Amino acid sequence: MESALDRFIRYAKIDTQSDENSTTYPSTQKQFDLLNMLLKELKEMGLNDAAIDQHGYVIATVPSNIPPSHKAFGKVPRIGFVAHVDTSPSASGKDVKPQVITYKGGDLVLPADNTVVISVAENPELKHNIGKTIVTTDGTTLLGADDKAGVAIIMTAAQTLVNNPDILHGDVRICFTPDEEVGAGTKYFDLEKFGCKFAYTVDGDTPGELNKETFSANYAIITVHGRNIHPGSAKNIMVNSIKCIADIIARFPKDQSPETTEGYEPYIHPHILSGEEAKSELKILLRDFKTPGLEVLKKKLEAIIADVQPLHPKAKIDLNIIEQYRNMKDYMGDDTPGLAYLWEATRRAGLDPIWQPIRGGTDGSRLTEKGLPTPNIFTGGQNYHGKTEWLSVWGMEKSVETVVILPQIWAEKSA
């Protein structure tokens, strides 16, 4: 029985970074390196229906072991667990070197770059891991706990169910997806093929925190068209799109940015900027837990553009809004049995569960919107998408326990 930590370290070393500028699916072929590895491991586990499709979705089943004589036979709904294999484009995922340490307290200076520090002030969860094993990066890459910790958790839980036939459960479906980090994790997800009544993503962070609310999200693109000419003859001719877009950014509300908001507060986040004199493009994340609030954020952008346009009368400014995902709470009632079962499973794993809204999104946001209720389970990871990312091994193991207990509860409640 391989530990979740061993699995995670092996998976973390495989570069699976996705690319939001790609026109292929998955966005990077290297995601198949891990997807095919997982397929092989699932088959070796004895899950004979394990398969991968042309889009990279790996699906397998831990079959029901409820005997015909049991009162729950034929009554237990099929449930699923989902995790994504890709890592964020925000930091390098190549040549990841996980550092496994026993945390003894204090700030952590990472070995390959002493300017990268995991500080106690910014990481209150560290105090719960004194004397425990954690995994960090070496300071040159992200770690990939988002969401290879989730992958390792599901694989370890599946192996536990296979190895322990006395744990009664219905059909448990597993799915590993590509391209979640670039908003396309469910683009080709076949709900009918997956065939579940309820599912869970394993893509959260702090142990005990469960998620049934996410942001609603839109993507805004502001494009400024200017005119280029040699600077030496530019007077009254050049239209510098860079200066125009700088004026736009300067007017963004400072009290509605990721670095100044928390909890249920919305934000407008300039995400990617590119350009030169003739054309500049700004990509912006719009986030609000209340879906109608996205229209409010859009109107703020329109007002900013209207304010800036007279300052650059020869520039052409375009605004394009792209829908991304919606708050799963809008499509999943609080009294859904699968939520109560998740709470109970976490409690049985020895934690004090808490419902915490995600200031982000998951594959479950889209799946829930499409009709498959899919709340989110913690992994033990922290500081996703950057070089200070770290993982609580204790938290990861508690997640494994929770995932193993959940199918048992579904069987108990169906009897």
The catalytic residue positions are: 86, 180
Would you state the torsion angle of the CA atoms of residues 407, 180, 134, 104, taken in this order, to the nearest 10 degrees?
-120
- Is the distance from CB of 223 to CB of 103 less than 8 angstroms? no
Distance CA 194, CA 136 (A): 34
- Backbone φ and ψ for 176, nearest 5 degrees, come out as -110, 130
Query: Residue type at 172?
Result: V
**3 state SS of 81:** strand
- Backbone φ and ψ for 262, nearest 5 degrees, come out as -160, 175
Helix (H) or strand (E) holding 302: helix 293-308
390, HSE (Cβ side, Cα atoms, 13 Å): 30
Q: How many CB atoms lie within 10 A of CB 368?
A: 26
The residue to which tokens 């900013």 are assigned: 304
**3 state SS of 352:** coil
Helix (H) or strand (E) holding 108: strand 108-109
Sequence-distant (6+) residues with CB within 8 A of 387 are 91, 110, 113, 116, 137, 139, 140, 141, 142
- Which strands form 316-325's sheet, in the order they lie side by side? 267-276, 279-288, 216-225, 316-325
- Is the distance from CB of 37 to CB of 52 less than 8 angstroms? no
Q: At what angle do helices 4-12 and 393-414 cross, to 10 degrees?
A: 120
